[in-house]
Structure 1
Amino acid sequence: MEYSQYSQVSPQWTKVRCTSLCHFAMFSQLTDPAPQFVSRHDQLGDLDKVGIVERRRVFGEVEATLPLKKIPADVDESSVSVKTFTVTARDGHEIPVRSYIPASAATTPANSRPLLVYLHAGGFLFGDLESGHLNCTVLAARLNISVLNVGYRLAPQWLFPHGFNDSYDAVEWAAAHAASHLNASPAAGFLVGGISSGANFAGAIAYAARDANLSPPITGLFLSIPVCILPQAYHLLPQEQRDQLLSLEQNAENPLLTKKSLSDIQDFVVIYGSPPEDKRVSFLLNDDHTSLPKRAYFQICGRDPLRDEAFLWQKLLQEYSGTKSKIDMYTGMPHGFWRFLDMQASHEWLDDLVVGVGSLFRPEGGVGETEMVVKGV
């Protein structure tokens, strides 16, 4: 199936007020008709002329000027017990983690509470426990699940595969210590997920856990705007699969993530340290897609260069593992749009996340079914 119809810019994105969108004035060339915005951050117009680290630094500065999302009014933070500690990685490094356990855990049997291991976004270079704190708090409170937020090591200080290994080691630790430390049981639902680079780790971990016969096994995946394969490795896919990856070109000038930023192989190899063909980063290259988790929740953005990677993997999961998927497709929206709070879709995003993650530990529905809801219109 071809998904180009989802590249057409969302009316919500087109109509975002200048008070927010002016941070990214070069977006005007992507809308038709397009309002002319005056940028307060001229450096964003030259992002493709600088390296990955500088690019991420600029984004960080701009994001610091945007309004922060707040804990929803219906979520009582005191109803979630939050604890920060460390778990030991395979090389002896102490990985910072943060647990979120609902207060109801005191009266609810641990063997009935699902567990989510959460992996934050940040392009493998940025982010920490604070990056996912709000999401983890809300998920734990609203879904009555335990959450483990992982502060994996970042490049360029810690090259690949340190970040991946930390994430996997945290999942392995959670499988063994869920009852004693997290008041949860993987047997009731063992979910692994994240956003962007965190979703990349989650996907690669699904294969690693299967191959290692992790017990209890991972039962569900939460995959928000996932990186599934590096563009430099597209040529290694079978021709039939390569022909389905059209969004890299269709959304080459996507406002928040461009084709060039994804294709700077020299920067990426040097700064992150991963060969593009390594299946721990380009997990679509795995030959065997069987025996993977039976539930998956995807968040896909229509204007994201990564869009078709996610759709391809969802189809492989369905065909070879019988995975039931729920997809929220944000038509006409760019990668990580929800930071712009002027849009209705941005305010709905967290609610979508809760419903989507909640669907992963509910047994209803047949094997291999796919439900897609189109949002952002």
Structure 2
Amino acid sequence: MEYSGYSQLNPQWTKFVASHPELGDLDRVGIVERCRIFGEVEAKILPRQVLKDMFTIAVRDGHEISMRSYVPASNNRSRPVLIYLHAGGFLFGDLESGDLNCRTLAARLDINVLNVGYRVAPKWPFPHGLNDSYDATEWAAANAESHLDASPTTGFFVGGISSGANFAGVIAYQARDAGLSPPITGLWSSIPVCILPQAYHLLPVDQREQLLSLEQNAENPLLTKKSLSDIQVIYGSPPEDPRISFLLNKDHRELPKRVYFQICGRDPLRDEAFLWKKLLEGHSGTKSMVHLYTGMPHGFWRFLEMKTSQEWLEDLVEGIRYLCEPEDEAKKTKLIVKGV
């Protein structure tokens, strides 16, 4: 019951949905139609802007994926690197969907942001998108100084939103096990998928008992318990595989020492993120910064009519700045409750 109080619907969200009735009862439609509805509502609020700088890299199966690098105008060649992995439920999203976030982070924080155009299902099911994202991270570790005017030894961050945050979590374990050099120093985990519901029973009882939000927020705007199952079927990932359900890893040691979380109180995934935060703190001594959006559903911020949504990008800048801080300046976890 530790986080259950954050599920009560936020008045900003209630007012917003009342003005957009097409967002109600989304389980009546399939995943593709749901994505179309989101896009139509979002398009009424803010047009997307696109940056054109782009290149490709070859990944492990010989396929070439698109990458977009955002480099600030300064002459600082020792700037940190952030690997940006977009959202989209493993099925949607592209380089354009994260463009504004990437440009803002690069300009405001003087970091290099590498936006990864990983492949999505159903054409490219599990684990193509994950493999693409890891290969891009590995490429950046080897080529950031020569190709990106950046230095991952100064700071090497991997992060993303929803499915992108899932990839970032899995990559943290894979990079540790592979001895990636330089190592990842920080993670950004926004509304992450940490374990598929079909694998909850594989967790130790004391951990499983902490995951209440799946049922508490099962009937919920934007992401429901049913839609999570629909996504898993299309993505084709075995629930018990730690390359999707990374909470099933037996060893949570030697992971990055800094994580920035964005967690939504009305999200069925809420408690997975909090459980992972505890495991990181207990096993790796990780320090965290958390923006907790009370009463808000999964990914609410794409709809900019709400004040909390308008503040989200500023929160993201603050969170990535936290990852950039020297180690001795992040001595304890910070929890900041938003949207009240």
What TM bracket, shorter-length normalisation? over 0.9
How far did 1:254 drift? 1.5
SS at match of 1:284: helix
Structure with the greater alpha carbon radius of gyration: 1
Distance 2:55 2:85 in 1: 16
Distance 1:367 1:67 in 2: 36
Deviations 1:232-256 (A, max 9, x none): 1111111100100000111111211
Give the equivalent residue in structure 2 for 1:255. 221
Q: Which runs of 4+ in 1 moved over 4 A?
A: 364-368
User: Are 1:60 and 2:24 counterparts?
Assistant: no
Within the candidate set 75, 81, 88, 1:122 is matched to: 88
Q: What TM-score do you get using the length of structure 2 for normalisation?
A: 0.95
Q: Structure 2 vs 1, CA of residues 7 and 63 (structure 1 numbering), >3 Å: closer, same or farther? A: same
Distance 1:365 1:7 in 2: 34
Distance 1:320 1:309 in 2: 16
RMSD of aligned residue pairs (Cα, Å): 1.9
Contact 2:68 / 2:95 at 8 angstroms: preserved in 1? yes
Contact 1:82 / 1:100 at 8 angstroms: preserved in 2? no
Within the candidate set 87, 96, 100, 2:57 is matched to: 87
Q: Which moved more, 1:339-348 or 1:361-370?
A: 361-370
User: Are 1:133 and 2:99 counterparts?
Assistant: yes
How far did 1:15 drift? 3.6
Distance 2:286 2:331 in 1: 5
Within the candidate set 16, 19, 22, 1:22 is matched to: 19
Deviations 1:149-168 (A, max 9, x none): 00000100011100000000
Distance 1:349 1:46 in 2: 25
Contact 1:192 / 1:202 at 8 angstroms: preserved in 2? yes
Q: Which moved more, 1:50-59 or 1:218-227?
A: 50-59
SS at match of 2:71: strand
Distance 1:82 1:70 in 2: 13
How far did 1:364 drift? 4.5
Give the equivalent residue in structure 2 for 1:27. none
How far did 1:226 drift? 0.6
Distance 2:337 2:34 in 1: 31
Give the equivalent residue in structure 1 for 2:334. 371
Query: Letter of the aligned partner of 1:207 in structure 2?
Result: Y
Query: Letter of the aligned partner of 1:12 in structure 2?
Result: Q
Contact 2:24 / 2:221 at 8 angstroms: preserved in 1? no
Give the equivalent residue in structure 2 for 1:331. 294
Query: Letter of the aligned partner of 1:151 in structure 2?
Result: G
SS at match of 2:298: coil
SS at match of 2:153: helix
Give the equivalent residue in structure 2 for 1:237. 203
Give the equivalent residue in structure 2 for 1:36. none
Within the candidate set 164, 167, 173, 1:201 is matched to: 167
For this pair of structures, how many residues does the alignment match?
A: 340
Give the equivalent residue in structure 1 for 2:238. 275
User: Are 1:318 and 2:281 counterparts?
Assistant: yes
Distance 1:337 1:273 in 2: 26
Give the equivalent residue in structure 2 for 1:11. 11
Q: What TM-score do you get using the length of structure 1 for normalisation?
A: 0.86
Query: Letter of the aligned partner of 2:124 in structure 1?
Result: W
How far did 1:273 drift? 1.5
SS at match of 2:89: coil
Among all aligned residue pairs of Structure 1 and Structure 2, give the percentage whose two residues are the same amino acid: 73
SS at match of 1:214: coil
SS at match of 1:83: coil
Within the candidate set 125, 144, 150, 1:159 is matched to: 125
How far did 1:2 drift? 1.1
Give the equivalent residue in structure 2 for 1:303. 266
Which residues of structure 2 form unaligned runs of 5+? none
SS at match of 2:160: strand
Query: Letter of the aligned partner of 1:354 in structure 2?
Result: V
Contact 2:86 / 2:160 at 8 angstroms: preserved in 1? yes
Distance 1:330 1:176 in 2: 37
Distance 2:327 2:136 in 1: 29
Contact 1:323 / 1:369 at 8 angstroms: preserved in 2? no
Deviations 1:68-112 (A, max 9, x none): 1678xxxxx9xxx962000110011101000000110xx22x2x2
How far did 1:12 drift? 2.3
Contact 2:242 / 2:248 at 8 angstroms: preserved in 1? yes
Distance 1:82 1:321 in 2: 39
Contact 2:26 / 2:222 at 8 angstroms: preserved in 1? no
SS at match of 1:226: coil
Contact 2:26 / 2:221 at 8 angstroms: preserved in 1? no
Distance 1:148 1:128 in 2: 13
Contact 2:281 / 2:287 at 8 angstroms: preserved in 1? yes
Contact 1:325 / 1:368 at 8 angstroms: preserved in 2? no
SS at match of 1:188: coil
Distance 2:34 2:10 in 1: 25
Which residues of structure 1 form unaligned runs of 5+? 24-38, 72-76
Distance 1:325 1:62 in 2: 33
Distance 1:372 1:365 in 2: 18
